[in-house]
Structure 1
Amino acid sequence: MGSLQRPFKLYFVPFLTPGHMVPLFELARLFAARGIHVTFFTTPANALLLRKAVDKDVAAARPISLHVLHFPSREAGIPDGIENLLDGAVDAQTLSGVCKGIAILEERFQDAILQNPPDCLVVDFVYSWASDLAARLDIPAIAFNSFCLFSVCAIHSLKSFAMPGSGPFIIPDLPHQISMNFQPPEEFNSAMVSRIEASYKTNGIIMNNFAELDGEYAEHYEKISGHRVRHIGPAGLIHRTAEEKTERSHKSAVKEHECLSWLDSKEPNSVLYVCFGSSCRFSDAQLYEIASGLESSGCDFIWVVSGKDITENETEEEREKWMPKGFEGKVKRENKGMVVRGWAPQLLILGHEAIGGFMTHCGWNSVVEGITAGVPMITWPVHSEQFYNEKLITEVHGIGVEVGTEEWALWVFDGGKKMVTRDRIEKAVRKVMDGGDEAMEMRKRVGELGKKAKEAVQEGGSSHTNLTALITELIRWREAKPLDQIQKCEM
């Protein structure tokens, strides 16, 4: 069988946390929509989150499937059904167990790929084995980097930088002069440098981003790394209907009609959306400060609270540890706000005209979704590369204000010693939501970027063109292979 007669097979291997898995799955669906035969590797519990979208694509004759491998819960010492770094990982011990399970699963991913090789691999950059495995199979490997290029370049610039003992410093060798108030945890930067440099050995990287947002950092990245980058996002724009945006992965804790009808009752740009992503967990004391700051700001809001799912066992005394007495009932009676405990339909909310600001942890998916919706941000980074993303928002593009967090945690359950007080929260909210000149300028700039994001995925746009070029290159590479090598891949 000749190379042109067999469909091109592309395998996607995600890192099992929603912030990595969801955008990579959405990018995989873009390839399937172009006729590429896509297989997405996952585990049973994670497959349940993706199955509905897969079934929809299959019904539309898009060639996508799931390859489901058993998650090694018993070997990792955790209960069955906990298979990513969000669902059920409620404490540091369980989180450690999930990480152990993912490490065991890496070998099983590789074994499955070796048994039935594809034409190309797309692997999360967290896994540093992609290029070696691809070399064994004589196929190309593409790394998926879940950051933005600005953050990748910042991490690269600091790899041999002599950090000051304390106090602010300038990140060296970047196109912009970027000031950091304090240094990142050494463990984080060193771990990221090793993974980023391992990704240089692949045949390029893809990103859930659009070229106009990273700007000159695409050229800067290719200069310092000698590595090709392709922006093919924002991936979230694959969702068109309200139902798709609501049921993107996890089941929403608030009904679509309830959320939309409340927002419909509000004036344009009058509501603040507050959400710190899937992995941030604040102390009760910090949640109390957030509630107090929102209340004193007088702004209407939707506040998504992770780790505080509604249970019949929560007493009034326990509730008052993390919000003022009567707070939830008061904002509901006065029609001032909604408190959502658990997962929220973020794309649906951000896209509503009533949303005028977004208080965010600066995880990359949330950043690109906020920008795509044209919403200015209040930046509250917590861990990982979020502090670099904050600088892209506030110092490079000028589309947000910093709340002033003073602690760079290593991971989800670290940190919490330095509180962001209610007065700083109130000040930041008023700065974005008060309709002043600075707020209007931010709104104008982010609106222009949002327009460019939508144009990027249209035919002829930068991301659409990048995806076309990448698919063309991959197919040409396979056509150039000797026939006997192609037939081995068919076995």
Structure 2
Amino acid sequence: MAAPTVVLLPVWGAGHLMPMLEAGKRLITRGSRALSLTVLLIPPPTEEVAADVDAHIRREEASGLDIRFVRLPAVEPPDFRSIEDFVSRLVQLHAPHVRAAMSSLASPVAAFVIDFFCTTLLDVSRELAVPAYVYFTASAGMLALFLRLPSLHEEVPVQFEEMEGAVDVPGLPPVPPSSLPNPVMDKNHPNYTWFVYHGRRFAEADGIIVNTAAELEQSVLAAIADGRCTPGVRAPTVYPIGPVISFSPRTEQSHECVRWLDTQPPASVVLLCFGSGGFFTAPQAHEIAHGLERSGHGFLWVLRGPPAPGELLPSDANLAELLPDGFLERTKDRGLVWPTKAPQKEILARAAVGGFVTHGGWNSVIESLWFGVPMAPWPLYAEQHLNAFTLVAYKGVAVAMKVDRKRTISWRPRSWSER
């Protein structure tokens, strides 16, 4: 009889797909029983994202581990008003395909692990009598807010930014409304409706797997376990398994950014890097450049430009358009601007890096903590404003940066024709 398989259903974003795959690989290589992995793949929305996913799959298929990838059929994209709304609706449309794929597997299904945007598929696991777990790729603090949101919806009748005082998220210091994630800032938006929905359905899962360490968020995990985040509802079982970080094998030739860092003094360089979705317009890039030049400090700036027409992700930066005249020449002895993707983990591991200006995505946060690099978070979108608050006020591992979130770019298309 074939070994049981654990079925993973990630979404395609880099911050979702890779951590879930890494957690699955740990399960099958370090667990006490023989297991395989089956990964169900929802077709990504653009060719650019699909190419990134395909490249990652090829690397995993060459690893020699017992991992099978099953590509689900495409569906007609739903109407939507934001990325979070789009993903949640698209996943819901895939329910018949997920049910069919799981029913046709030759191996018995030991568990079904879904991304936190996929709670509509808990109905499929119930129909198939398969234990279901939510893989939560953000912090336990964000999970606490998700779980608390259905009751907050009843307790706070106005928009959060209109309420008096702070938001009560058990286990965290009082949260200023200005530090809440973008998707919950407008109660009339589908994003908010979906977040309340997902937060309510989390409690139905057999467990929630979180990419965090118990030592990092003890009070939050205790609050969840005690039921303080889910009044009147059974508290979900939470499994903190982090930090889940994927390390690439060493290569003979280091990346150019790494080689440059190895020529710099210890703790002399600040890294500026804003994740797979962060970019800046020319006026913003000019202001950052002026600040770096005036600071007199060394820097490595991974600068990306706005998405190209028809694409979702940032483009390689046109430095002539984004930077002030003469900036590169004036700072060439102490700074490097890198206009495309860069190996963030390898960069953070270098002794020359003494600080990290980051968008505050959770994967970047745990990588920075792993390598002991202090942060200055500049949140751009998603849950990053909450991460920035907790890094400063709860964990004490970052310095606050004053951000006017109404002026910060948070690019989100309403339809694929607006990409």
Shift of 1:150: 0.9
Q: Structure 1 counterpart of 2:247, which letter? A: H
Shift of 1:121: 0.4
Aligned mates of 1:289, 1:18 — CA distance in 2: 28
Residue range with higher mean Cα deviation, 363-372 or 189-198: 189-198
Q: Aligned ranges for residues 43-442 of structure 1 at < 5 Å? A: 43=43, 45=51, 47-58=53-64, 62-72=65-75, 75-76=76-77, 104-105=93-94, 107-116=96-105, 118-155=109-146, 156=148, 158-162=152-156, 163=159, 166=162, 169-180=165-176, 182=178, 184-186=184-186, 187=189, 188-222=191-225, 223=227, 224-225=229-230, 226-236=235-245, 238-239=246-247, 241-243=249-251, 256-307=254-305, 319=319, 321-332=321-332, 334=333, 336-407=334-405, 411-413=410-412
| Structure ID, larger Rg | 1
Q: Structure 2 counterpart of 1:110, which letter? A: R
CA RMSD of aligned residues (A): 3.2
Deviations 1:170-222 (A, max 9, x none): 22253343342626512344432211221211100112221111111111112
Equivalent residues of 2:91, 2:118 under 8 A apart: no
Aligned mates of 1:28, 1:161 — CA distance in 2: 38
Aligned mates of 1:380, 1:324 — CA distance in 2: 21
Shift of 1:347: 0.8
Aligned mates of 2:380, 2:286 — CA distance in 1: 17
SS in structure 1 opposite 2:300?
Answer: strand
SS in structure 1 opposite 2:205?
Answer: coil
Residue in 1 that maps onto 2:46: none
CA change 1:134–1:76 in 2 (3 A) is closer
Aligned mates of 1:176, 1:324 — CA distance in 2: 41
Aligned mates of 1:358, 1:47 — CA distance in 2: 27
Residue in 2 that maps onto 1:20: 16
Alignment of 1:33 with 2:29, yes or no, is yes
TM (norm. structure 1) is: 0.68
Aligned mates of 1:191, 1:290 — CA distance in 2: 35
CA change 1:164–1:297 in 2 (3 A) is same
Identity %: 26
Mind listing any 5+ residue stretches in structure 1 that lack a counterpart? 78-91, 245-254, 311-317, 415-491
SS in structure 1 opposite 2:390?
Answer: helix
CA change 1:240–1:284 in 2 (3 A) is closer
Deviations 1:38-77 (A, max 9, x none): 012224645422234323431xxx32122123545xx449
Deviations 1:425-453 (A, max 9, x none): xxxxxxxxxxxxxxxxxxxxxxxxxxxxx
Equivalent residues of 2:113, 2:135 under 8 A apart: yes
Shift of 1:355: 0.9
CA change 1:299–1:234 in 2 (3 A) is same
Equivalent residues of 1:171, 1:179 under 8 A apart: yes
CA change 1:102–1:339 in 2 (3 A) is farther
SS in structure 1 opposite 2:323?
Answer: coil
Deviations 1:102-121 (A, max 9, x none): 66445433332233362210
Aligned residue pair count: 372
Q: Structure 2 counterpart of 1:239, which letter? A: F
Aligned mates of 1:326, 1:96 — CA distance in 2: 43
Equivalent residues of 2:261, 2:350 under 8 A apart: yes
Aligned mates of 1:379, 1:344 — CA distance in 2: 19
Whichever structure has more helix as a proportion of its residues is 1
SS in structure 2 opposite 1:67?
Answer: strand
Q: Structure 1 counterpart of 2:324, which letter? A: P
Shift of 1:322: 2.5
Deviations 1:336-358 (A, max 9, x none): 22222222111111111111111
CA change 1:154–1:241 in 2 (3 A) is same
CA change 1:7–1:20 in 2 (3 A) is same
